[in-house]
């Protein structure tokens, strides 16, 4: 099944992220969720009280790298990303989320 396929190759990665710049009120979370789902990643995204967007992504290594690149350079159409930081990168044996959610 699909589970077996995900265990092949490079395995699964979990990474926390925080994106700074003009990233609130420009549909950034919705676009991030859409991109994560397109890539088959799970995790979450939310606005912080200090004007950034943060979250966690989990999935196959290559896909996680793609979303990291997207968060660095693309974002939502109206956004202006000044910095994307990635922390707590670790290999995981199973996904810890069922989907990619926007948290309030």
Give the domain range for residue 96. 12-102
> Is residue 88 flagged as an active site residue?
no
Residue 75: inside a domain, yes or no? yes
Residue 1: inside a domain, yes or no? no
Kindly tell me if the per-residue pLDDT of 10 is higher than 90. Answer: no
**What three-state secondary structure class fits 35?**
helix
pLDDT band at 101 (very low <50, low <70, confident <90, very high): very high
Residue 2: inside a domain, yes or no? no
Residue 17: inside a domain, yes or no? yes
- Of 26 and 10, the structure prediction assigns the larger pLDDT to 26
Of the residues 47, 80, 83, 88, which is catalytic? 47
> Is residue 47 flagged as an active site residue?
yes
Of the residues 29, 83, 88, 98, which is catalytic? 29
Kindly tell me if the per-residue pLDDT of 7 is higher than 90. Answer: no
User: Structurally, how many domains does the chain consist of?
Assistant: 1
What do you get for the CA distance between the two ends of the chain, in Å? 33
**What three-state secondary structure class fits 3?**
helix
């Amino acid at each position: 099944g699909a589970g077996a396929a995900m265990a092949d190759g490079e395995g699964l990665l979990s990474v926390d992220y925080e994106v700074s710049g003009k990233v609130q009120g420009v549909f950034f979370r919705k676009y991030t969720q859409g991109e994560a789902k397109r890539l088959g990643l799970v995790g979450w995204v939310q606005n912080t009280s200090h004007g950034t967007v943060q979250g966690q992504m989990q999935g196959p290594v290559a896909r996680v790298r793609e979303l990291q690149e997207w968060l660095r350079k693309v974002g939502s159409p109206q956004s202006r990303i000044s910095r994307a930081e990635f922390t707590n990168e670790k290999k995981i044996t199973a996904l810890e989320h069922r989907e990619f959610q926007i948290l309030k």
